Structure 1
């Protein structure tokens, strides 16, 4: 229902790589400035989170992170019209006072889709719906893109003091909701604040989901060197950084996919795949990994907290990788994937891959 965009020859991705040092996180005051924290917080609706680490450390993660059931992200599926978001206690408690995330079903590049985050209602509309609604918006997408009809994007800051009944702008939005956006829509809903009593969401019969972690233990693999070469610290080290970052990102991605290509026992015909774990035979080691995965409708705040908890739970010299993937969106420059690697024997250091879709 909440599908990913189909690949297109008109779409490409750019990967921005950062190598740096981050301070030790304070669990009572999580960082909000500087990478990699800002990169995580810049994502909107996270669909999947993967944590990769040596198998011998999995018990620490179980004891200090995934062992607490209350940590698992809880979200809801609910059927509502857009207008019902603007009505009564739901509007007052969840938008004016509280803080929620909502994402409607559909594909942004071809259907009418509605998003709500930090009080900002964003609507991606086809030309006919946009003209019927009579709202003020902007063209959306790249001009001249073959096979796609014109699209429009309209935004309203629902937390603005002017967003009240009786105000011109709000009444125009309410009129459009009543006469144009009046069909029930399936949404994903996440509450970032305290749940009000009584809960205004309950009257819409929401279905509750919990993103329980899936643990894959004892993944036998060939381990490349995860320590960046010293040359990348010099001004002439860009080529070495690019090559190292490309190889390690590909390897981590195959681990996330549970690809047999990284297995110790992989014997595939080179005619079918010529992939090899990066490094010389003398550099490669045999080891076991663990992958912990969460999937659902996850806020960026949760991924930031998880990164901080992993850093605090694991020994300072151990390595790990945390990756996040957002719901696919057809927006120029929208971040779709983020991977953070703390290399072995490198307390505080990190490599960050920030993959963004470009149309």
Structure 2
């Protein structure tokens, strides 16, 4: 970056690590999942060859109960009685035309809040009060938030009629959008659209890939070390990098790889054995507009299936957020700049998902990583 902006500091992304327990009353894992509404991909890595049974368990509920829609709709449609009911039921939607840095992007966060991230020209034409974006200089971008569940959002009320007039006369763009509405248990609710919306009902894309003869790291140190001993951070960072290599199906983690260190300096984390041993694993990927309730149900399914495996194993559960979503966790403003990442990743173990007694040091430990771009208030 210094080549292009010699007087500016390089933009910094952030990686937050938490060493925590499922037995804690703070319930950090639920909060991390359920407060992140816009998710487009889940990846599960399991260092085991039992991919078919596990994939069936993780995706059974999705295949039966969850779908989402792609439609072309104006914002005024959200103010109709039918869609106001969908919004009260927790509908989530995100426009997918153009980037958050350069185009108008709108979303519904599942709690009734309509968020408009607008260019300066669109904001000045809209006629509603907003605030300058925290990430773009010289007031070139604005954010407008409308609480569609507010008591004043009733047809005939001045506030409602003002918003309706603006959506019908100033910001009349038809946005291509992804929409989904689910129950707290992650079961889809049907949505009906006018013919002009050209709505399409979509299912999640699910695929499983087997990885053979790979060098699987030893995670015992991470699982058993005390949370106040900061050595676990180095081990987690190495394991997180290894997960990235496995996601790319890189040959660098394969048994017998002999790449020249001049070409690649990567080295695998230590294994449980002194000599390299090849093992099997599987990658399960689910993509689409995945609401947080469905993410949570898949995560809980993973937790339930791990103890049933013959050999105790660990697993990685990674979720990617939409890079051009206007908000990330807890409705905090999000931008893109260079990368736009807003993702999180769990490491969990099959041997510590249950409650343990005081003499057992293994008390439901898991590790949570949150990767946040420069333009994100969560950082």
| TM-score bracket for this pair, using the shorter chain length | 0.7 to 0.9
Q: Which residue of 2 aligns with 1:57?
A: 50
Which of 239, 242, 255 is the aligned partner of 2:233? 242
Deviates further, 155-164 or 66-75: 66-75
Q: C-alpha distance in 2, partners of 1:9/1:213?
A: 41
Deviation at 1:287, TM superposition (A): 0.8
Q: Which residue of 1 aligns with 2:372?
A: 356
Q: Which residue of 2 aligns with 1:155?
A: 145
Say if 2:48 is the partner of 1:42.
Answer: no
Q: C-alpha distance in 1, partners of 2:351/2:224?
A: 17
Q: C-alpha distance in 2, partners of 1:153/1:301?
A: 26
Deviation at 1:265, TM superposition (A): 3.9
Q: Which residue of 2 aligns with 1:188?
A: 178
Q: Which residue of 1 aligns with 2:130?
A: 137
Q: C-alpha distance in 2, partners of 1:41/1:88?
A: 27
Structure 2, unmatched stretches of 5+, are 1-7, 335-340, 354-363
Which of 342, 350, 353 is the aligned partner of 2:348? 342
Q: Which residue of 2 aligns with 1:318?
A: 313
Deviation at 1:107, TM superposition (A): 1.5
Q: Which residue of 2 aligns with 1:288?
A: 280
Q: C-alpha distance in 2, partners of 1:151/1:234?
A: 41
Structure 1, unmatched stretches of 5+, are 1-7, 25-30
Q: C-alpha distance in 1, partners of 2:64/2:19?
A: 30
C-alpha offsets along residues 21-44 of structure 1, whole Å, 9 cap, x if unaligned?
A: 2049xxxxxx9x512121111212
RMSD: 2.7
TM-score by length of 2: 0.80
Contact 2:91 2:179 in 1 (8 A): yes
The answer to which structure, 1 or 2, has the higher relative contact order (CA under 8 A, 6+ apart) is: 1
Determine helix, strand or coil for the equivalent of 1:245.
Answer: helix
Q: C-alpha distance in 2, partners of 1:188/1:77?
A: 5
Determine helix, strand or coil for the equivalent of 1:110.
Answer: coil
TM-score by length of 1: 0.84
Select the structure that is richer in strand.
1
C-alpha offsets along residues 94-118 of structure 1, whole Å, 9 cap, x if unaligned?
A: 124x221110122122111110122
Q: Which residue of 1 aligns with 2:169?
A: 179
Contact 2:18 2:368 in 1 (8 A): yes
Q: Which residue of 1 aligns with 2:16?
A: 16
Q: C-alpha distance in 2, partners of 1:78/1:138?
A: 28
Q: C-alpha distance in 1, partners of 2:21/2:371?
A: 20
Deviation at 1:227, TM superposition (A): 1.9
Contact 2:48 2:313 in 1 (8 A): no
Q: C-alpha distance in 2, partners of 1:63/1:36?
A: 23
Q: Return closer, same or farther for 1:263/1:138 CA change in 2, 3 Å cut-off.
A: same
Q: C-alpha distance in 2, partners of 1:126/1:102?
A: 20
Contact 1:75 1:208 in 2 (8 A): yes
Deviates further, 58-67 or 171-180: 58-67
C-alpha offsets along residues 126-166 of structure 1, whole Å, 9 cap, x if unaligned?
A: 1121111121111103354xxx8611000011011101222
Deviates further, 186-195 or 295-304: 186-195
Q: Return closer, same or farther for 1:72/1:16 CA change in 2, 3 Å cut-off.
A: farther
Which of 79, 102, 109 is the aligned partner of 2:101? 109
Determine helix, strand or coil for the equivalent of 1:321.
Answer: strand
Determine helix, strand or coil for the equivalent of 1:314.
Answer: helix
